[in-house]
Amino acid sequence: MGKAALAIVGIVLPVLLAYSAAGHLPGTTFPVIALGATAFSLMALNLLVATRAPGVDRMFGGLDQVYFAHKWFGILALACAFLHQQIKISTDGKEVQQALSAAAVEVAEIAFPVLLVLVLISFFKRLPKVPFEIPYQIWRWSHRLLGVVFAALAFHQFFVKAPFDNNALLATHLNVMAVIGLASYGWTIGGPLLRRRKYTVTAVTKHAAATIVDLEPVGKGIDVRPGGFAFVSFGAKGLGEPHPFTVSEVRPNGGIQFSIRGLGDFTKRVRDGLLPGDVARVEGGYGRFDYRAGGPRQVWVAAGIGITPFLSFADSLPATGAPEICLVYCVRTEAEGVGLDRLRRAAERTSSFTFKLHVSEADGRFDAARLVALVPFDITGAALWFCGPAPLRVALAKGLKGLGKSPRSMHFERFEFR
């Protein structure tokens, strides 16, 4: 629904309005106007979806899906902007010379190469065949600057002398898009500061596979469901940048827990530098990974730190009336299992919940056949909820299909936005 709405307002509408405003004009005028209007509309809508507004999140079925669509609509906007810039508009020699219009053209000529570089930085996580990953901070700043480029393009669209009437619906559409894009950008920059809530770190537990951080709110906490995630930063040195983590526990008193795997600078600093009593800032909750939408029979598959949403799911299961669920948790060694006691307690408390641990060092490589063997009911009638590495998810889906055991539906959470 979100992707369709974006395609209609960002592509179909500007093309139709461009046709109504410039379809009768000769030569390349209509395609150039349509490409420019589409590029500008898609950029504005991409800024809107990047605000993490709750309604947007719902329309796309989760924030990770929002970012996925955002990425590909961004690439499409760049392609349209490129063609808009390359194809010359037919003027029949009657080119209008006007200082402001000339300035608007110049602004676009400067903004376009900047746009190109920023979108390429945003698109490539890794350069092909080069063992170097573009640091997240550079990616983040490249994204922030895209808003400035959009402001320059808004100036361009407003002041450039277009070969159609200023009262045309297209002009109104583009002005609305400019307002939406600029307001969204302002909200993206300033919104998190207003939305974030203050917490105190009450415990930092160094588990073999994760650092488990418990937080209590100072005043009103965030509203987050089991399986949801939030952006967290800490007052401690070097931990001021917000990073996304799934809540591994949501307590009735508003307390929350994150289980953080040491992967890079930030997550390793959390392990080494965070102390009870430190201040935390949390913004959320986000995400639509919620087993309650998943039907009466469910298979939950977690690998490694992908256990975090299932820990908070398992805690929230009622003693009776829960769906029939089998959680299969894949770890390399038993010591790497996070929250095993909690999962075992949940299985004792809720009779319809079973928990199976797959230890690959002892049990061998985890695959679709092993999953089918571990689950005590037929997977074909069940919903599969997955959190773990994408290659495992793809291999399981393929393997289950090969065995004629494809689940009724598959739900997964990406631990990655770009």
Ligand X SMILES: Cc1cc2nc3c(=O)[nH]c(=O)nc-3n(C[C@H](O)[C@H](O)[C@H](O)COP(=O)(O)OP(=O)(O)OC[C@H]3O[C@@H](n4cnc5c(N)ncnc54)[C@H](O)[C@@H]3O)c2cc1C
Considering the complex, state which of residue 122 and residue 157 has its C-beta at the smaller distance from ligand X: 122
Q: How far is the CB of 247 from ligand X (least distance, A)?
A: 8
Considering the complex, state which of residue 6 and residue 210 has its C-beta at the smaller distance from ligand X: 210
Q: From CA 165, how far away is CA 178, in angstroms rounded?
A: 18
Considering the complex, state which of residue 142 and residue 259 has its C-beta at the smaller distance from ligand X: 259
Residue nearest to ligand X (CB): 264
Q: How far is the CB of 32 from ligand X (least distance, A)?
A: 37
Q: How far is the CB of 170 from ligand X (least distance, A)?
A: 37
Q: How far is the CB of 73 from ligand X (least distance, A)?
A: 19
Q: How far is the CB of 105 from ligand X (least distance, A)?
A: 37
Q: How far is the CB of 33 from ligand X (least distance, A)?
A: 37
Query: What is the distance in angstroms between the CA of the first residue and the CA of the last residue of the chain?
Result: 21
Considering the complex, state which of residue 199 and residue 415 has its C-beta at the smaller distance from ligand X: 415
Give the 3-state secondary structure of residue 283: strand
Considering the complex, state which of residue 138 and residue 176 has its C-beta at the smaller distance from ligand X: 138
Q: From CA 289, how far away is CA 62, in angstroms rounded?
A: 7
Considering the complex, state which of residue 165 and residue 223 has its C-beta at the smaller distance from ligand X: 223
What is the contact surface with ligand X in residues (CB under 6 A)? Answer: 64, 133, 136, 229, 241-246, 259-261, 263-267, 305, 308, 415-418
Q: From CA 350, how far away is CA 191, in angstroms rounded?
A: 40
DSSP string, 124-177: -SB-TT-S-BPPHHHHHHHHHHHHHHHHHHHHHHHHS--SS-TTSHHHHHHHHH
Q: From CA 325, how far away is CA 300, in angstroms rounded?
A: 7
Q: How far is the CB of 79 from ligand X (least distance, A)?
A: 24
Considering the complex, state which of residue 307 and residue 328 has its C-beta at the smaller distance from ligand X: 307
- The neighbouring-strand residues paired with 286 are 229
Which of 155, 170, 145, 160 minimizes the C-alpha distance to 47?
145
Tokens 């990655």, residue?
416
Cis peptide bond upstream of 294, omega within 30: no
